[in-house]
Amino acid sequence: MIKIIIERRIMPGLEEEYEQAAREAMRWSLGARGFVGGETLVELGHSDRRLMITKWRDMRAWKEWYRSEERNRVMQRIWPLLTEDEVIRAYEPSY
């Protein structure tokens, strides 16, 4: 199992629009093969900063979703709302 951490910064005033687009993206990922679960966090004191933590069966499942037409479609609504490129990091359990 791996975790994908996605950091995003939203343009001021567009937080509600972002939330709607992000919920749609999460709904689509629920149907992705290998998706286990996820959550979205707002940084305390910084309503423009979001952290998404998603769990995937393995890196292959994540890459399949990342390159999918479905993700590309929902990201078309999200990208214009960001002030900078999202930062994506992959983590695996430490043994």
Query: For each of the chain's 95 residues, which pLDDT tens digit applies?
Result: 999 999 999 999 999 999 999 888 888 888 889 999 999 999 999 999 999 999 999 999 999 999 999 999 989 999 999 999 999 999 999 87
Number of domains in the chain: 1
CA 75 to mean position of chain CA atoms:
9
CATH number assigned to the domain comprising residue 25: 3.30.70.100
The per-residue pLDDT for 29 is 86
Q: Is the pTM of this model over 0.85?
A: yes
Give just the sign of the alpha carbon dihedral 11, 19, 6, 62: negative
- Which residue range forms the structural domain that includes residue 58? 2-91
* Other CB atoms within 10 A of residue 8 CB: 22
Which residue in this structure is represented by tokens 């679960």? Answer: 37
Q: What's the CA gap between 35 and 63, in Å, rounded?
A: 11
